[in-house]
Homo-oligomer: A and B are copies of this chain.
């Protein structure tokens, strides 16, 4: 659908059926639910998965089409690729849209007939338990997935509660029914990844176990518990590792895998056997826990005491309808599908990471107890602080946002380093990417009045994270005002992002009356200036002696350059906290905007980033598939020329998103790509979280009603919107003309109506010369 347009699609789809406004949020939720297509993003660059989860669920149960070794892992970060025609099994944890990969825990595979214990070569049918399938047999909706496994002879359905994945397997009749449990596999597979693992068959038929992996997160422990709806006829526990330096003494049943009550090792696979007499589909329910096996059992009992697969599915559907019902839009079906799927993808992380009794494993790999709040993990913060977390402050209840802040603060208390999470999942820190972007997440929440936590502790945590010398050149940054490239890689990106994060600390400190901190970090917020090279107009990395590193190539990207996942063209606009200052540095707004045009209009060889994962979705040098570009199109509006933002947004929306499996131009990154889409569809975007301002773009839907969790409704209308009328003539807020290109969070949450009048030609006069542009207000 590249070079198409969202409004043009209106002509290809039914216009009227969803044109009416939903009667209420429940109605909206149902309409939204049916619009979601979980396959969007499962091909191309999206790295999403089509499986079953509830909003922010701890279990995210999904088919894995291939288990890829390290060198091929990138494309299979979510386990599933739409282009594949085989399924290895169904595992219980997945990332939605990452570039790096891990998880894929507790993989189950049902097999009717002979149960091979190796997964085999997916390209050689019958070489293992991997089975062919066809998309025609698949069905996916939020909280539910189904597929027919052709070689395995099984119709498999999946659903999930918060902590339990539920499988319903209908086996081909007449053949022995097996369920394989493979603890050897995960996303990003390599020899030695599993440090230790265990499978135990308890006397009551409950199967429990754990595995500890050295993957993206080191020493991660995951426990599970599993029960079947039918009695076990038999089982076999295998350790397929043969090169064991010391085996110890054999436990009972060692000579006969079918008599083992437990097995331990690094390469474990089990077969659970149900004979040929199953009269109904087999249900397997599987819980996970970061704490221990008892925690997993308790989670199983708490979430699903019985065997009502359809009840769990219905409950999941209800949760999704409620969460998605926050929005009701009037748009053509493809847009509705894209929009609600994007919204669906923004409601998966940070994910629940706590047992039913409040225990969870922290970044110190120890077990902790949450009292009065809910712990979340999976923080892809370098991505998600930009739009995902700001979106959650709108579409999710205040309690969820408070819990996210509480989770970040708890993680800092439990951190061996005394800092907030950087890129954490399952409680464990990975140190992936750069910055201390938990800071803007907390700052954004605080500035928006989400304050159900100890604010002083929050500020302390932010300051501690910003001042932790051993991390990524912070010691030098504090000393020099920038990160020196001769001492720390990717120094230009780090200086820029630190300066923004610092600005958000200053915002909070000012709000709390902590003047010394506000002054210190207000000063640090200007550190971006140390990266600006007036001669070339690019942000660059300096050495300790103050000189910029040479030679300098603004096209260059890669590990070891001045930048993180980008080049000078992409990173030179990262001053969301002071766009006016950036313009001034460039010699005025016109020069800044000219340089922005150079970015979008450049002729760029698409292969220039072939050596880099993650940099995709090119429009000139603008790379929508990666986060450093996400605010850039809004800078025109920010700098006083909103009609140019409006044009760029159309360009981005038309080329970077499609309501198809390959419809995401870049990794969804736990919802950041999707959050951009949701915001942009609604007509505004949080360029600088912490400012409480959303910069106006233009709506891509004719009407969007936000049924805010606070009970208010905020409606966006785009009068006259169609593919020929894509520019904003004027904007009314609650019936009054809006003479500025932003709205505030307070205005939004108060409910009301934001009415865009669309027209064919740019209106270069709106919002008018008299209006202040938001960056200047933010920095007064």
> With the chains together, A218 CA to B198 CA distance in Å?
10
Question: At the interface, yes or no: A418 with Cβ under 8 Å from chain B?
Answer: yes
- One of B217, B252, B468 near A472 (C-beta < 8 A): B252
Copies of this chain, how many? Answer: 2
A343 to chain B, nearest CB (A): 31
A417: chain B residues within 8 A (beta carbon): 251-252, 261-262
> With the chains together, A347 CA to B195 CA distance in Å?
36
- One of B191, B265, B292, B366 near A366 (C-beta < 8 A): B292
- One of B251, B256, B260, B264 near A219 (C-beta < 8 A): B264
A686 to chain B, nearest CB (A): 27
Question: At the interface, yes or no: A594 with Cβ under 8 Å from chain B?
Answer: no
Which residue on B lies nearest to A423, using beta carbons?
B249
Bitwise interface map of A from 202 to 236 toward B, beta carbon under 8 Å scored 1, else 0: 11000000001011111100000000000000000
Question: At the interface, yes or no: A259 with Cβ under 8 Å from chain B?
Answer: yes
A218: chain B residues within 8 A (beta carbon): 196, 248, 264-265
Which residue on B lies nearest to A250, using beta carbons?
B431
Question: Is there an interface contact between A416 and B262, defined as CB atoms closer than 8 Å?
Answer: yes
Question: At the interface, yes or no: A178 with Cβ under 8 Å from chain B?
Answer: no
Known A-B contacts A196-B195, A366-B293; A190 and B246 likewise in contact (beta carbons under 8 Å): yes
Question: At the interface, yes or no: A654 with Cβ under 8 Å from chain B?
Answer: no
Question: At the interface, yes or no: A192 with Cβ under 8 Å from chain B?
Answer: yes
- One of B250, B261, B472 near A416 (C-beta < 8 A): B261
Most chain B CB within a 10 A radius of its CB, from A200, A215, A219: A219
Question: Is there an interface contact between A252 and B468, defined as CB atoms closer than 8 Å?
Answer: yes
A335 to chain B, nearest CB (A): 38
Bitwise interface map of A from 244 to 275 toward B, beta carbon under 8 Å scored 1, else 0: 01101111110010011110110000000000
> With the chains together, A246 CA to B261 CA distance in Å?
33
A186 to chain B, nearest CB (A): 11
Bitwise interface map of A from 580 to 610 toward B, beta carbon under 8 Å scored 1, else 0: 0000000000000000000000000000000
> With the chains together, A70 CA to B245 CA distance in Å?
9
Question: At the interface, yes or no: A294 with Cβ under 8 Å from chain B?
Answer: yes
Question: At the interface, yes or no: A429 with Cβ under 8 Å from chain B?
Answer: yes
- One of B245, B252, B366 near A294 (C-beta < 8 A): B366
A360 to chain B, nearest CB (A): 13
A155 to chain B, nearest CB (A): 34
Question: Is there an interface contact between B248 and A430, defined as CB atoms closer than 8 Å?
Answer: yes
- One of B188, B191, B292, B432 near A249 (C-beta < 8 A): B432
Question: Is there an interface contact between A259 and B294, defined as CB atoms closer than 8 Å?
Answer: no
Question: At the interface, yes or no: A470 with Cβ under 8 Å from chain B?
Answer: yes
Question: At the interface, yes or no: A412 with Cβ under 8 Å from chain B?
Answer: no
A248: chain B residues within 8 A (beta carbon): 214-218, 430-431
Known A-B contacts A364-B200, A365-B198, A366-B292; A470 and B253 likewise in contact (beta carbons under 8 Å): yes
Question: Is there an interface contact between A193 and B245, defined as CB atoms closer than 8 Å?
Answer: yes
A193: chain B residues within 8 A (beta carbon): 245-246
Question: Is there an interface contact between B472 and A364, defined as CB atoms closer than 8 Å?
Answer: no
Question: At the interface, yes or no: A471 with Cβ under 8 Å from chain B?
Answer: yes
Question: At the interface, yes or no: A302 with Cβ under 8 Å from chain B?
Answer: no
Which residue on B lies nearest to A190, using beta carbons?
B245
Question: At the interface, yes or no: A13 with Cβ under 8 Å from chain B?
Answer: no
Which residue on B lies nearest to A194, using beta carbons?
B195
A102 to chain B, nearest CB (A): 10
| A-B contacts, 20 listed (Cβ < 8 Å) | A191-B245, A195-B195, A195-B212, A196-B196, A196-B219, A200-B364, A202-B416, A215-B246, A217-B248, A249-B431, A252-B419, A252-B431, A252-B470, A253-B470, A259-B470, A261-B470, A262-B417, A292-B367, A293-B364, A293-B366
3 smallest CB-CB distances across A and B, nearest first, come from A252-B470, A262-B416, A252-B471
